[in-house]
Amino acid sequence: MAGLANLPPLPDTLRTRLAECRTLPSLPAAAARVIAIARSPDPCLGDYARTIGQDPALTLRLLSMANSASYSRGGNPVSTCLDGVSRIGLDATLAIALSFGLPRPGKNAVLDHEYLCQRAIIAATATQELAQHLCPHEAPQLFTTALLQDIGILAFEALDGDAYAAHIPDLRQHQKLSEAENERYGCDHALVGAWLAVSWGVPSPIAVGIIDSHGPLADGDARKLCLRLSCRIADCWLAADSASAFSALLRQLASVASLDIVMLMTVMQELQHRLPSLARLFEITCPPAIDSTHLLAEAKELLFEQNLRMTIRLAEQQRELEALHASHVVLDEQHRTDHLTQLANRPWLEKRLEQHFDCAKRARQPLAVMFIDLDHFKLINDRFGHRFGDEVLIHFAAALNNMVRESDIAGRYGGEEFLVIMPNTRRQQAGILADRIRQYLTSQPLAQADGEPLHVTASIGIADLEDGEFEDAAALVDAADQAMYGVKHGGRDGVAHYEEPDPSA
């Protein structure tokens, strides 16, 4: 079967079973001869007419279509096969022949063949009408393709009968149907339908189109879009709640720029007009009549209500997210803040210092740290109590936070020890801040003790990257700590800068 070479392969086991199945759908001999003519290099109208004229059923269906409202356009009725083929064209003639492969109700059928046939007729007509807007030259062939898009379901039914019906969802759940087929057989009915169509001898573009009829709606390929949208229109038309179904379809169409509600309205109105005659032509029960204008208006109203509910829900979710974010901010603030002084705590200080240290090293920028220790703080605690000492720490922390720059990070390192990280700062600039801190402590008491102002002094050590070769951030802090202890040993209440030890000394 040479035509199969252009299609994705069937799973081996399934291909073997299909090849051995003797009950697969087939076409009358006359229809098969029509297809053979269509595949010939130079088919002519006379060949079609002579072949069709040999089969009364084909002849009747051909003349019925040629004299239908879709093709007669007010002209005189035709009574010969040649006139009929001339009027409807070769593609429509091929569709007439292939329509004999559509499902027919029978006592051995396990599936709803009437639904399948109605779906095929609606989809074929919708495809043709959509193509008139998007790709007019493709319209006749797309009608035939959409007509056959679900013949793979008939092949599965012939292959497994009740077992197939038992393992698939309702035929109206088309997406779930394909998923169940893929799970059970390794492919869905679209691929099997293409395989069956090729076995009938249909032109390969039709077989490829059967596969293309299943997929997402998207711009870029008008042929695929017509086929895929037509299936969905058919599903909506035959749904128990058509308005809700079309509402869901309108939501999908919102992302397809080449389609709009006006086009869909036109297609629906033409469908309503053509379906009764097509149902008679193909000898099926006419699909239910609907008021397309009212239905789409109702669908748009439902869509608006759904979008409104979604907008309200999104607003609620946004408020929940904002509240959650605010909660996380509070938790993060608590995680990195000293609970007493509200400055940065030691873990956060060390983390930020490591970041600034690495950044300054890479960019060759200055970085300074200041280590502050409040003098004689143990005596304050011993004399006035820890609650009083906490008050002193709180007041000093507030003053320190007001004196540092926005780019600086001040924090409590431990007990009465404080650390200030100063990015892009050299020792002279750091020294200016240290002097401001000492001047403040000299002029402003940090508490009142026994009715008298209590002044506290501080020992301050400063280290910056230019003071030595520091391996890491911790070494820089140690250097500032050493400078601070130098002040302590020298009598307290002062500022010292770290000096690299002289190796020769």
Active site residues: 416
Helix ranges restricted to H, 21-100: 29-39, 45-53, 56-66, 69-72, 81-88, 90-98
Nearest to 293 by CA among 311, 270, 268, 276: 268
Task: Answer for the pair 415, 338: CB distance below 8 angstroms, yes or no.
Answer: no
> Cα separation of 368 and 382, whole Å?
34
Tokens of 160: 């497994």
**Residue 291 host element (H or E):** none
Evaluate whether 65 touches 83 at the Cβ level (below 8 Å).
no
Q: What is the DSSP-derived secondary structure letter of residue 40?
A: S
HEC letters along 429-486:
HHHHHHHHHHHHHHHCCCEEECCEEECCCEEEEEEEHHHCCCCCHHHHHHHHHHHHHH
| Nearest partner of 143 among 115, 164, 120, judged by Cα | 120
Structural tokens at position 223: 């042929």
HSE of 265, CA atoms in CB hemisphere, 13 A:
11
Give the 3-state secondary structure of residue 348: helix
What would the two tokens of residue 457 be?
């002094």
CA atoms of 49 and 344, how far apart (whole Å): 93
Which of 198, 201, 222 minimizes the C-alpha distance to 212? 222
Looking up tokens 């748009």, which residue turns up? 300
Secondary structure (3-state) at 420: strand
Distance CA 219, CA 493 (A): 77
Angle between helix 222-238 and helix 261-281 axes, rounded to 10 deg: 70
Could you tell me which residues come within 8 angstroms of residue 330 by beta carbon, excluding any fewer than 6 positions away? none
Tokens of 340: 């007493």
Selection from 98, 93, 90 nearest residue 43 by Cα: 90
